[in-house]
Amino acid sequence: MSSKKELEEGMFVPDEINTIIKDSIDEAIMSTQFHHDKVTKWTNGVSEVCMRRLANLGKPFKYIVTCVIMQKNGAGMITATSCYWDKSTDGSRTIRWENKSMYVIVTIFGVSM
């Protein structure tokens, strides 16, 4: 009989991905306030930290990371994703993080190889 850890080795584990996203945002942005000039640096930073942590998992997956940063100014934003894949192994997670001045939306897609 396989252990839970062995079963998770070849699967996309949502809780594990949630932690990676939240920790990556905290590391790249922390509690800073929105500055238009820094958005490119922040989006690249969040994406790179996520990708590094995903690679460190050592799982047989291809990953796609997207990061959107939007100033809080009352504007609306709607996003959606759709995928056709193996639901038993592949997956995606989206986390919306916010502080007083901005929203950060990160999505990670994991496709098993």
Q: Which residues contact 50 (CB under 8 A, 6 or more apart)?
A: 20, 21, 24, 65, 67, 106, 108
Q: Range with the lowest mean pLDDT among 2-6, 77-81, 103-107?
A: 2-6
Residue 91 — very low, low, confident or very high, per pLDDT cuts 50/70/90? very high
Q: What is the rounded distance in angstroms from the CA atom of residue 113 to the CA atom of residue 101? A: 39
Q: Which residues contact 89 (CB under 8 A, 6 or more apart)?
A: 10, 11, 12, 112
Measured distance between the N- and C-terminal CA atoms of the chain, rounded to whole angstroms: 24
**Domain residue limits, the chain:** 4-112
pTM above 0.75, yes or no: yes
| 4-112 classified as CATH 3.40.630.30 | no
Q: Does residue 65 carry a pLDDT above 70? A: yes
Average pLDDT, the chain: 90
Q: Does residue 3 carry a pLDDT above 70? A: no
